[in-house]
Structure 1
């Protein structure tokens, strides 16, 4: 007897899904959809897997979780504390100085920046911005930058003495020595290179050049060293705020100088590199002295 004809099936078709057993969840409710719906959609792990054990935490993978807050700041902090930063600053300083000395093609960046700033000033025609630029550039003058540096050194020494540090007076001495270091770093280069300013007027025989910027160097070293000195005596959050304030003041002064046509852009960049090298060395050489009440930092400061 012939068997009944079998229905035709496609040999390349996917096998039919298997019906899984009903899964009882922790709330004693049966899951009608089977075990496939109890797994995390982004990581193919159970939904109760701890976050730090999931594959989704790895970047550049499908279903990657968002980066943890503060991770870019931690990476930036590690880079600032590594030996790569002074190498980068030193290379940039040598390159810019060489280009200024030989009138190299990199100076085209100065001319482009001056042209862009002048067009922006003309288009905006904002008296307020012009006053802000001049006020920012004035922050790089000896007053108020030097008094701020000495006040920061005195405050750091007082806090260090209060914490019982053996060499608390060293912080005030560093602040005083920095006031003499600024002209030693800037004046010889100004006299040697004798670079004219953005207005193009020739230098008088008794006049120093514009490279590097004395105002930018004064601001970077004065506010930066004051922040570094006081930061040796405080906790993590306050320390980061001090570093940020010093950096913002230095950047603000440099931008104000360029906006007001007082300096070329590379004059300011060179002063930032000089100041950055001194600050990096100082931050690694000075011992940290924190007050007794900050000896056990809060959990927020340890992040």
Structure 2
């Protein structure tokens, strides 16, 4: 739980920097502001609910099918984490009302900070790795964790490269999602 606390502290620090237009936002100014292109667009789309949510749902179904007892609990924990990410991201977007790299508000959405796509991807792919790795050997768990990390890095890179989000939007989502994944891992250990 120390890792979860550290991630939440980092989220609080980043949020403070965004709201107060602190020194970290200068980094965003230097690194953000790309333009949509086919490959970054594809990578950013991996963070949407259709791709990430479907992956998590399929992995949850496989995990439930493989489990001998408490079949419903691991997928329910993963679904709760995904819902919790949205329950935190949407109010933070409304509270910060951060404009995007193009200087405009996010259309019908209240703001850019934190990135909903990055949070969805991190929780969905992270939960998929945790669910599939629950009964697997260490090498398989490491491979699943590495795959989730690479996918999330690709999503974050795509979001920034297309100019859809500032880098801090993505990093903040990763901090939030990492804390949620710590809770999911703890819950899965208890029910195994």
Report the TM-score, using the length of structure 1 for normalisation: 0.59
Q: Is the 8 A contact 1:227 1:243 kept in 2?
A: yes
Question: Structure 1 residues 84, 174: CA separation in 2 closer, same or farther (over 3 Å shift)?
Answer: closer
Q: Is the 8 A contact 2:63 2:131 kept in 1?
A: yes
Q: Is the 8 A contact 2:97 2:112 kept in 1?
A: yes
Indicate the SS of the match to 2:54.
Answer: helix
How far apart in 2 are the matches of 1:282 and 1:210? 26
Indicate the SS of the match to 2:189.
Answer: coil
Question: Structure 1 residues 193, 230: CA separation in 2 closer, same or farther (over 3 Å shift)?
Answer: same
How far apart in 2 are the matches of 1:218 and 1:283? 17
Residue aligning to 2:141: 239
Residue aligning to 2:114: 212
Structure 1 runs of 4+ aligned residues shifted over 4 Å read none
Question: Structure 1 residues 86, 176: CA separation in 2 closer, same or farther (over 3 Å shift)?
Answer: closer
Pairwise mapping of residues 167-178 of structure 1 onto structure 2 (< 5 A)? 167-178=70-81
Alignment of 1:92 onto 2:2: no
Q: Is the 8 A contact 1:232 1:289 kept in 2?
A: no
Pairwise mapping of residues 36-115 of structure 1 onto structure 2 (< 5 A)? 83-114=1-32
Superposed displacement of residue 289, structure 1: 7.8
Question: Structure 1 residues 105, 174: CA separation in 2 closer, same or farther (over 3 Å shift)?
Answer: same
Compare CA radii of gyration and give the structure with the larger one. Answer: 1
Q: Is the 8 A contact 1:135 1:256 kept in 2?
A: yes
Deviations 1:47-68 (A, max 9, x none): xxxxxxxxxxxxxxxxxxxxxx
Indicate the SS of the match to 2:42.
Answer: helix
Indicate the SS of the match to 1:149.
Answer: helix
Question: Structure 1 residues 159, 203: CA separation in 2 closer, same or farther (over 3 Å shift)?
Answer: closer
Structure 2 spans left out of the alignment, 5+ residues: none
Q: Is the 8 A contact 1:233 1:288 kept in 2?
A: no
Question: Structure 1 residues 180, 84: CA separation in 2 closer, same or farther (over 3 Å shift)?
Answer: closer
Report the TM-score, using the length of structure 2 for normalisation: 0.91
Residue aligning to 2:182: 280
Superposed displacement of residue 179, structure 1: 3.8
How far apart in 2 are the matches of 1:187 and 1:239? 31
Q: Is the 8 A contact 2:64 2:74 kept in 1?
A: yes
Deviations 1:67-86 (A, max 9, x none): xxxxxxxxxxxxxxxx5432
The size of the alignment, in residue pairs, is 192
Q: Which has the higher contact order (CA 8 A, sep 6+)?
A: 2
Deviations 1:270-290 (A, max 9, x none): 000001001112112212788
Structure with more of its chain in helix, by fraction: 2
